């Protein structure tokens, strides 16, 4: 990590939580703006396909609490 980046990071971490959250949102939004349009299109198509499969009953969803429990277990 460059010293300039480290200095910025140290200063940002001194900010109140609300300000850090706002900054984090803006930084994440700036990354989303730079997303690959072809990848975005592919993801939209995939979401549509999966949504249709769920609506038709071709696949069954997994409750979020089960998914999160499994993820927490895997991360330990």
Summarised one tens digit per residue, pLDDT across range 16-30 is 999 999 999 999 988
Give a three-class secondary structure readout of the chain: CCHHHHHHHHHHCCCCHHHHHHHHHHHHHHHHHCCCHHHHHHHHHHHHHHHHHHHHCCCCCCCHHHHHHHHHHHHC
Domain extents in the chain: 3-75
pTM: 0.46
Instruction: Tell me the pLDDT of the chain averaged across its residues.
Output: 92
């Amino acid at each position: 990590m460059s010293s300039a980046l480290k200095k910025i990071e140290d200063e940002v971490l001194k900010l109140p939580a609300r300000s850090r959250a706002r900054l984090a949102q803006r930084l994440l939004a700036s990354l989303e703006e730079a997303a690959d349009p072809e990848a975005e299109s592919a993801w939209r198509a995939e979401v549509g396909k999966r949504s249709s499969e769920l609506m038709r009953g071709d696949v069954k969803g997994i409750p979020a609490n089960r998914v999160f429990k499994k993820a927490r277990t895997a991360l330990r």
